[in-house]
C-alpha cells in the first residue's frame, strides 16, 4: 500500500508572514493567535441572482479569524507593539469585535484590558467573548462615539495604551488582508467592497493595496467601495450622525475616527461610499448563509447588499473581479440570527408529526 505523504502544516500569524511590510523588529515580542490567512471564497449564487455571468465575486471571509473577526489582524500588531513599549494595560471603545479581540490578545501576555461598550447595542457573542477572555467590561450609557471620546481622553492622561484604530499599528496589521487577496488572486481585484463603521478597515485595505503595488507585488489598484448602514451613514451624508441606528450594531457609528482615511480611499481609487438599508442588509445576511453557505454577521452582509444595489444600476464593468470583505462571523449575534420566525417549538417524537412539518415546509 502506498504510504500517504505527510504534509507539513504550519500556520503562522500575519506579523511573521508579512514582517517586511510591518513596523516590527527582532525586539518586538510577537503576540499572535495565528490570525490571518483567511479564505477567499468564490461566490456560487450571486452572479446568477444578479443576472450577470461574467463577474467573478469572492468573499474574503474574515469571520474565520481566531476571535471571529478581522480585528485580530490589527490587534496582534497593537498588542505586540504595546508590549514592546512596556505597556501593561490596553483600552478600547467597541461595538463588540474590537473588545473581543483586544481581550483575547491581552490575555496572552497578561495585560490588563479595559473595554467600553455602548449599553444594549452589542451582539451577545461579542460581550461573552470580552468577559470570558478576562477583560474588564465597562458598559456606558451612550453610543460608540461617546465611548471612544472617553477612551481617547483617559488613555491620553493615564498609562494605558489605546487599541482602537486611531492606534496606527491597528491599521498596519489590518492592511495585510489586502496582501493576502493579491497573493491569492495574483493581482488586486478590480473592485473591493467593504463595510464602513469607524472607517479603519477601508483605510487599512487601501494602504495595503498601494504598498503591494509600490513593491511590484501587484499591478492594479482596486476601486474601493464602502457601505454604511442607512441609519448610520455619516460619510455618505457628509455630517456627523448624532443618534446612529441600525440592526448592524458593529457599524452603528455616527462619527468615524478614520473619516479622512475613508474619503482618501474612495477618492484616490475612484470608488464610492454609499449606504444600504437594514432590510437590504437582512436580506443579504440570509442570502449569504442560505445560498452561499457563508455565515457572516449583519455588518458584513452590508457589502453584499451594496453589491446588489450597484449591480442593479449596472455599475460593474463586465469580466471583472470583485472582492467583498465579510468582516465577522454570524455566530457572534445569535439574537439577530434567531429573529426570523424560525419554528423552534418541539413536536411530539413521532413519524407523523415530523412528516407533517416536512410537508408543511414544502409550501
- The residues binding ligand F0G (CB under 6 A) are 69, 71, 94-98, 165, 195-201, 250-251, 297, 299-300, 327-328
Give the separation between CA 289 and CA 343, rounded to whole angstroms. 18
Shortest distance, position 209 Cβ to ligand F0G, whole Å: 16
Which residues, listed in sequence order, are joined to residue 58 by a DSSP beta bridge?
Answer: 42, 323
Provide the sign of the torsion angle of the four alpha carbons 139, 141, 144, 148, taken in this order: negative
Nearest CB to ligand F0G, comparing residues 74 and 189: 74
Nearest CB to ligand F0G, comparing residues 148 and 187: 148
Nearest CB to ligand F0G, comparing residues 43 and 164: 164
Give the separation between CA 191 and CA 178, rounded to whole angstroms. 12
Pairing of strands 40-42, 56-61: antiparallel
Give the separation between CA 158 and CA 215, rounded to whole angstroms. 39
Q: What are phi and psi of 180, to 5 degrees?
A: -60, -40
10 Å CB burial of residue 157 (0-12, 13-18, 19+) is exposed
Q: Helix, strand, coil % (nearest 5) of the chain? A: 45, 15, 40
Q: What are phi and psi of 34, to 5 degrees?
A: 60, 40
Nearest CB to ligand F0G, comparing residues 52 and 137: 137
Nearest CB to ligand F0G, comparing residues 196 and 307: 196
Give the separation between CA 60 and CA 24, rounded to whole angstroms. 26
Nearest CB to ligand F0G, comparing residues 12 and 137: 137
Shortest distance, position 91 Cβ to ligand F0G, whole Å: 12
Shortest distance, position 63 Cβ to ligand F0G, whole Å: 8
Shortest distance, position 18 Cβ to ligand F0G, whole Å: 19
Nearest CB to ligand F0G, comparing residues 278 and 297: 297
Shortest distance, position 166 Cβ to ligand F0G, whole Å: 11
Shortest distance, position 153 Cβ to ligand F0G, whole Å: 18
Shortest distance, position 32 Cβ to ligand F0G, whole Å: 19
Q: Enumerate helices (H) and strands (E) in the chain, giving the number of each.
A: 15, 10
Picking from 229, 272, 230, 277, the residue whose alpha carbon sits closest to that of residue 251 is: 229
Amino acid at each position: 500500500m502506498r504510504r500517504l505523504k505527510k504534509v507539513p502544516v504550519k500556520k503562522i500569524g500575519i506579523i511573521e508572514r508579512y514582517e517586511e511590510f510591518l513596523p516590527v523588529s527582532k525586539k518586538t515580542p510577537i503576540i499572535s493567535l495565528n490570525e490571518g490567512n483567511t479564505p477567499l471564497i468564490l461566490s456560487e449564487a450571486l452572479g446568477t441572482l444578479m443576472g450577470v455571468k461574467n463577474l467573478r465575486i469572492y468573499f474574503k471571509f474574515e469571520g474565520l479569524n481566531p476571535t471571529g473577526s478581522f480585528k485580530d489582524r490589527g490587534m496582534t500588531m497593537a498588542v505586540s507593539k504595546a508590549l514592546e513599549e512596556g505597556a501593561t494595560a490596553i483600552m478600547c471603545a467597541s461595538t463588540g469585535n474590537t473588545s473581543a479581540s483586544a481581550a483575547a490578545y491581552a490575555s496572552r501576555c497578561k495585560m490588563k484590558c479595559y473595554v467600553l461598550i455602548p449599553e444594549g447595542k452589542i451582539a451577545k457573542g461579542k460581550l461573552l467573548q470580552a468577559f470570558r477572555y478576562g477583560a474588564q467590561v465597562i458598559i456606558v450609557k451612550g453610543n460608540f462615539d461617546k465611548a471612544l471620546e472617553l477612551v481617547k481622553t483617559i488613555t491620553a492622561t493615564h498609562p494605558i495604551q489605546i487599541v482602537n484604530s486611531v492606534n496606527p499599528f491597528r491599521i498596519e496589521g489590518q492592511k495585510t488582508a489586502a496582501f493576502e487577496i493579491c497573493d491569492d488572486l495574483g493581482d488586486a481585484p478590480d473592485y473591493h467592497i467593504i463595510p464602513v463603521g469607524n472607517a479603519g478597515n477601508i483605510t487599512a485595505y487601501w494602504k495595503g493595496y498601494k504598498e503591494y503595488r509600490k513593491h511590484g507585488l501587484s499591478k492594479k489598484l482596486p476601486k474601493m467601495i464602502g457601505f454604511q448602514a442607512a441609519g448610520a451613514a455619516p460619510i455618505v451624508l457628509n455630517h456627523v450622525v448624532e443618534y446612529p441606528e441600525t440592526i448592524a450594531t458593529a457599524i452603528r457609528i455616527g462619527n468615524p475616527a478614520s473619516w479622512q482615511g475613508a474619503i482618501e480611499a474612495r477618492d484616490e481609487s475612484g470608488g464610492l461610499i454609499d449606504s444600504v438599508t437594514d432590510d437590504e442588509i437582512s436580506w443579504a445576511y440570509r442570502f449569504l448563509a442560505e445560498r452561499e453557505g457563508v455565515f457572516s454577521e449583519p455588518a458584513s452582509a452590508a457589502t453584499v447588499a451594496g453589491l446588489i444595489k450597484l449591480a442593479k444600476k449596472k455599475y460593474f464593468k463586465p469580466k471583472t473581479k470583485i472582492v467583498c470583505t465579510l468582516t465577522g462571523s454570524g455566530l457572534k449575534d445569535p439574537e439577530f440570527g434567531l429573529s426570523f420566525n424560525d419554528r423552534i417549538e418541539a413536536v411530539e417524537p413521532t413519524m407523523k408529526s415530523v412528516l407533517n412539518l416536512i410537508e408543511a415546509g414544502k409550501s
